[in-house]
Amino acid sequence: MSVNLIRPEGPRPEDFKISRRLLGGLLFAGYATAAVSQSAEPVVTDADGLVTETVNLPAPDGFDLPAYVARPEGEGPFPIVVVASEIFGVHAYIQDVCRRLAREGYAAIAPAFFVRVEDPAPLSDMARVFEIVGAAGYEQVMGDVSATLQWLGGQIWADSERVGITGFCWGGKVVWQAVARFAAFDAGVAWYGRLAPEDGATAGAPWPVDLAGDLKAPVLGLYGEDDRGIPVASVEAMREALTREGQTASEIVLYTGAGHAFHADYRPSYQPKRRRTAGHACWRTSRLTSRYQTLASSRAPGSCEPPPDPRAATTTMAGRTTRPNRA
């Protein structure tokens, strides 16, 4: 027996089938109910040698904001990566991304932006998922990012002089917004984040295409040519905006034959080759690695795979030699 689920691949969600047995296994493991695939072979990164925990951060509206943290054992301080989730929240895939980054020497933190209303991960009703996501407005999300940065500033293991942000799908848009808002970020990597109003995301929020001139650090945008939810035209419009605003350090890579969510290893859209290629591209634009500490013996695949010499990645992310003033 099978059950029909919906996956948000572009503006028209499509049904696909998944066996109850496999569904039960993936749901028990904590993957998003509405997007798991029968062919899923998710990367699972163990936590040996890492510190993993869920913490609560004081948000500006008084809410205790949960956030998943993964970092190497030891005193640090470790460079920081804020991880902005897809619409399914901080489920097993996002937690694993944090552990992959921790394996590479980073302290990664994923705030749960949606749980003020409800955790979307266990839901199969996509209409309800979209309601929950829509309730997380721009100012709330930016306030949560600010709270995350402030909390990290009080942790002795966190190096607040080296801070990046990465995000997937909905979180990819957050990357552009956050780097335009906060000077605390040295770099951003946006995985297929929506860019322009025609992409159909939340109305009324600042669009990345309109924020190009406000970027305070370089952003690498990673997009699929066959993404039905993010047209190539909007990707090209973003490229033009970056050029027009003199943001020569930022870059957009468009992958032929890739659709939406090509990094999401629990979904049918997953493309391991694109993930690895895009992961390497992260390092071409990362200034966070200036004091990168390799954990080569325990590195997990699938986030950003470092170049042979970590020092080689220090010169290209922004093309900058000086750090912007912090706000």
Burial letters 149-186, b for 16+ CB under 10 A, else e: bebbeebebbbbebbbbbbbbbbbbbbbbbbbbbebbb
Enumerate the active-site residues: 169, 227, 260
Average pLDDT, rounded, for the chain = 75
Q: Which domains does the chain have, with CATH numbers?
A: 43-314 (3.40.50.1820)
Work out the angle at residue 208's Cα, subtended by the Cα atoms of residues 205 and 209, and round it to the nearest 5 degrees: 115
**CA separation for the pair 167, 85 (Å, rounded):** 6
User: Would you say residue 61 has pLDDT above 60?
Assistant: yes
- What is the model's pLDDT at position 40? 53
91 burial level (CB within 10 Å; 0-12, 13-18, 19+): buried
Each residue's pLDDT tens digit, 14-44 = 333 333 333 333 343 454 444 444 445 667 8
- What is the model's pLDDT at position 35? 46
Look at residues 84, 92, 132 and name the one whose alpha carbon lies nearest to residue 110: 84
Look at residues 177, 269, 284 and name the one whose alpha carbon lies nearest to residue 223: 269
Each residue's pLDDT tens digit, 257-292 = 887 778 767 765 554 554 444 444 444 434 443 333
Q: Residue 22, Cβ neighbours under 10 Å: how many? A: 15
Each residue's pLDDT tens digit, 51-60 = 999 999 999 9
Each residue's pLDDT tens digit, 161-170 = 999 999 998 9
Each residue's pLDDT tens digit, 191-232 = 988 898 865 555 567 999 999 999 999 999 999 888 888 889
**Which position has the higher pLDDT, 327 or 203?**
203
Give the predicted TM-score (pTM) of the model.
Answer: 0.75
If phi > 0 it is left, if psi is from -120 to 50 it is alpha, else beta; for residue 105 that is left
The mean pLDDT of 141-155, rounded to a whole number, is: 98
